[in-house]
Structure 1
Amino acid sequence: MHELSICRALIEQVREIARNNDASRVTEISLEVGPLSGVMPELLLEAFPMASAGSMAEGARLIVDMEPVRVWCSRCQLESAATLNRLVCAQCGDWRTELRSGDALMLKSVVLEEARSEPSGQPAEEQGYV
């Protein structure tokens, strides 16, 4: 299951983002995954708690949005939706297409909690989107 390795790399990337933004904790991570990426979203969701254990993303919510498969046709010059194993133009049926989307594995956003001190000396928490 290479999804565990992907989750571990994701945690490293998110940790760097959190560090650059002086965050104390990650509460939500949003990804976009295409069906042609070779990544299975359900396995990502299963591996995430194991990969994030002991990190600042432990307990964070992982959101996986699916990216649609879309192709551009060189014959009729249109972009259209396509199916996973049939990358043909929906307009004219031509097979000479260029993949426009559907193979992504992209970090879309991270929600962070920022710990800071209030004038009273008590820590305050603030949420921010990256």
Structure 2
Amino acid sequence: MHEMALCEGIIGIVEEEARKRSFLRVKAVCLEIGALSHVAPDAMQFCFEAVAARTIAQGARLEIIATPGTAWCMACSQNVEIKQRYEPCPSCGSYQLQVTGGEEMRVKELEVD
């Protein structure tokens, strides 16, 4: 389960920001997770709680914002939204898509004390 390692990385980011900005506690962490990122939001929720225990983020809420997958269709020259890789263009049916977004996962915002 790579979500555990991802959550450990998130806690590392949170702790680094706490050192830089001198806050004592994190109340919420807001993540953006792309539809094509291969990250399971339910697994992230579970792992975050376990990894955050006994850290500055203990008891913090994990808020997840799902972002869509996007691609450029080389056949019809349109930006389109896709749910998964290797599906056809919803506009023209072509499979000539180049992914342009939705692969990312980032910490968008922290609510702190």
Greater RCO, 1 or 2 (C-alpha within 8 Å, sep 6+): 2
Unaligned runs of at least 5 residues, structure 2: none
- The aligned residue for residue 127 of structure 1 is none
Is the helix fraction higher in 1 or 2?
Answer: 2
Q: Is the 8 A contact 1:52 1:58 kept in 2?
A: yes
- The aligned residue for residue 72 of structure 2 is 72
Q: CA RMSD in A?
A: 1.3
- The aligned residue for residue 62 of structure 1 is 62
C-alpha separation in 1, matches of 2:95 and 2:2: 31
Is 81-90 or 42-51 further displaced after alignment? 81-90
CA deviation digits over 1:106-129, x for unaligned, max 9? Answer: 11111121xxxxxxxxxxxxxxxx
C-alpha separation in 2, matches of 1:2 and 1:91: 34
CA deviation digits over 1:64-122, x for unaligned, max 9? Answer: 11111111112221111122144332211111111122211111111121xxxxxxxxx
**TM-score normalised by length of structure 1:** 0.80
Number of aligned residues: 113
**TM-score normalised by length of structure 2:** 0.91
Q: What stretches of structure 1 move > 2 A for 4+ residues in a row?
A: 85-88
Unaligned runs of at least 5 residues, structure 1: 114-130
| Structure label with greater radius of gyration | 1
